[in-house]
Structure 1
Amino acid sequence: MSRPKLGTLLLVSASLVAGSSPALAGLEAARALVPHRAVYDLKLRDVSERSGIEGMFGRMVYEFTGSACTGFTTNFRFVTKIDTGEEMRLTDQQTTTFENASSGQFRFDTKSYTDEKLDKQVTGEAKDDANGLKIALAKPDPREVDLTPAKFPTEHMLDVIENARAGKRFFEARIFDGSEDGDKSLMTSTVVGLQQTPAADDPDAKSAGEFSAKPYWPVTIAYYNEDGKTDALPVYRMSFKLYDNGITRDLTMDYGDFVLSGTLSKLELLDKQPETCR
C-alpha cells in the first residue's frame, strides 16, 4: 500500500519457492498478489493541540490490479473532512501508479484538491539505472532528478512478506513512491510481528469476508526523510494487519500531530489477469 497522505501529505503476498532462483522467487511472489478494491472508513484517533484540528473523518479507497507479467496498477483516493474550529475543510487526494519490477519502471500521478479546487499535481516516472534511480518529472515543472537506489512500493511490500515468512522481524530499506514532490526517496524501518489468528471479538475481521478467519501479520512501517536517521522521529508511521493474500485492515496512520484509524468497511475481489510472461 502506498503511504496515505493528507491533502499535501498522503500490500501484498509472497509465496516463495524453496530452492528457486531470486528472479523466479520474485515472480512467484508477485503472482500471489490478489487484485482487489478495499474501502476504509477513517476517523480521528488522537490529536495534539498544536495540530489546529478539532475533528476529522473521511474515507480511503485502494484498488490494486494487474499481474506479475504486465505490471501492477494502483488507484488510490483519500478524502477527509477537517474541522479546525473555525471552518470545515475538504481534502481529496487522487493517486494512480504503475509498477513493473521486471523492467524497473514506476509511473505516478497525484492530484491534491482542497474544497474541490486543484492545489497540486505531481506527475512523473522513475526508472532503475545502473547507478540508482532516474526520475523524470512532467508536472508541476519538467525536470530530471538522480537518486540513490531504492525499492518501489510493491517491491518493498514483497520484501515485507518475504521477511515475515522467514521470521525476520525487523529490516530497513530505502523506497521511492512518488509522494510529496516526487523528487525524493525515503528511508523506512519495518517491524513485523508474529503471525496471529483473528480473535472472535475482532470488530474489523468480518469485513474481510472469506478471509476474516485467516491468519495475518501485524506490520508497522516508519518513514524517514532520505537524509535522516532511523533513530530519529519518523515523519510518518503506518500500522496494519496484513493477510498473506495482500489484503490489509485495521490501519493506523500516525502523522505526528494527529493519528487516523482506518477500518475496512468493504472488500471486493477483482478479476485476475492471465499470467503469461513472454
Structure 2
Amino acid sequence: MEGGVRVRQHGFGWLAAVGISLSLCMPAAAEPLPIQMHRAVYELSLGRTEMASDINGLDGRMVVEWQGGPACGGYTMMQRMVMRFGGEGGGVTSDSRLSTFETEASDEFSYTLTEYLGGELTSREGGIARRGKDGRVTLEREGEEVVTLHPETLFPIASMRAWIESMRRGDRIFEQIYFDGTEEKEKRVSVFVTGPGTSPTASGVKGGELLEELAGWNTHASYFDLDNTEGLPDFEMSFTLFANGVSSDLRLNYTELEIKARLSEITFFSEGPC
C-alpha cells in the first residue's frame, strides 16, 4: 500500500508464549525459572490511527509457539503475524515470520526474520548473538561485520525470567536491555506494572481455563534506542500478564497506529520434543 505503515515484529513473542507457574509473592528462586511450552493464538484488529496514516482497517492473526526445554539444551520459538490492511489506495497483506533458538544458559541466541508484503518476499535476515565468558556480547549477521552489543543485553528467555523475578519482588518499575532479532541492535525497555489484572480477561479463550485461576498484572513497556534518554519511545506495548507468563489484551502502539491482539486460544505442551 503506497505510503502505508511498515509494521515489524517486535519483542512481544516471549510475552505471549512463556509459561511461568509462579506467584508474585514467592521468594526468589535459586534455580532458573521453569518455562512451560505452549502455543498462543491472537486475533488482531485496529485500535487507533493517526491523521497521517492512510490505514482505515486492519484484521489478522498472530500465532506464537514455544518448544524445547532444559533437557533439549534450549528453546525454539516460531512466531507468525499476518495482517490485512485497508486504506484509500486499496488493501494489502503483510506476513512476518520470526524463528529463534536460545540456549538454556542464554549464552547464544540465533534468529531468522522473514517478511512478505502482498505475497512478495521483501526481506529475510538473521544472525547469531553470543555471550562470551568475558561477558562480551557480540552479534554476527551473514555478510556483515561482527558488532558488539551492550554487556547487559538479555535475550528473550533470560529477559522473561528477569522480568518475572522483578514482579515477584514487588517491583513496579524496572528496566532491561533487550535483543530479540527484530531490530538492528539492542533496545532499552522501561517496564511499568500499573496495577492488578483480572482473570475475566481470559473468558472465551479456548483452552484458557487455567488462566481463570491465576492472578494477573496490568503492564506497560516502552522500547527506546540506547542513546535515547529523554525522547519518545520507538514502540510501546500494554497487556495483562498472568502469573504463568501468558499475556492477554495486548495493545501494540506504533507511531501511526495501534494494533490490538486478543488472546483467543492457548494450548499447553509437555517439555520437548528436542
Range into which the TM-score falls when normalised by the shorter chain:
0.7 to 0.9
Partner of 1:249: 248
How many residues are matched? Answer: 256
Cα offsets for 1:111-141 (capped at 9, x unmatched): 0000111100111100013253111102xx3
SS at match of 1:49: coil
Partner of 1:117: 120
Partner of 1:237: 236
Partner amino acid, structure 2, of 1:94: R
Partner of 2:66: 64
Alpha carbons of structure 1 residues 215 and 206: separation in structure 2 relative to 1, 3 Å: farther
Partner Cα separation in structure 1 for residue 256 and residue 244 of structure 2: 33
SS at match of 2:47: strand
Contact 1:36–1:65 under 8 Å retained in 2: yes
SS at match of 2:64: strand
Contact 1:71–1:100 under 8 Å retained in 2: yes
Alpha carbons of structure 1 residues 8 and 167: separation in structure 2 relative to 1, 3 Å: closer
Contact 2:27–2:168 under 8 Å retained in 1: no
Partner Cα separation in structure 2 for residue 263 and residue 15 of structure 1: 23
Scaled by the length of structure 2, what TM-score is found? 0.85
Partner of 1:209: 209
CA RMSD, aligned part only? 2.3
Contact 1:185–1:225 under 8 Å retained in 2: yes
Alpha carbons of structure 1 residues 131 and 273: separation in structure 2 relative to 1, 3 Å: closer
Cα offsets for 1:93-117 (capped at 9, x unmatched): 0000111141501000000000111
1:10-25 matched pairs, under 5 angstroms: 10=10, 11=15, 12=18, 13=20, 15=22, 18=27, 24-25=30-31
Alpha carbons of structure 1 residues 103 and 268: separation in structure 2 relative to 1, 3 Å: closer
Alpha carbons of structure 1 residues 14 and 143: separation in structure 2 relative to 1, 3 Å: farther
Contact 1:205–1:213 under 8 Å retained in 2: no
Of 37, 40, 52 in structure 2, the residue corresponding to residue 38 of structure 1 is 40
How much identity, in percent, do the aligned residues show? 27
Scaled by the length of structure 1, what TM-score is found? 0.84
Alpha carbons of structure 1 residues 164 and 239: separation in structure 2 relative to 1, 3 Å: same
In the TM superposition, what is the alpha-carbon distance from 1:271 to its structure 2 partner? 2.1
In the TM superposition, what is the alpha-carbon distance from 1:274 to its structure 2 partner? 9.0
Indicate the larger mover: 127-136 or 261-270. Answer: 127-136
In the TM superposition, what is the alpha-carbon distance from 1:197 to its structure 2 partner? 3.6
Partner of 1:48: 50
Gapped regions of structure 1 (runs ≥ 5): none
Partner of 1:223: 223
Contact 1:40–1:61 under 8 Å retained in 2: yes
Alpha carbons of structure 1 residues 226 and 46: separation in structure 2 relative to 1, 3 Å: same
Partner of 1:264: 263
Gapped regions of structure 2 (runs ≥ 5): none
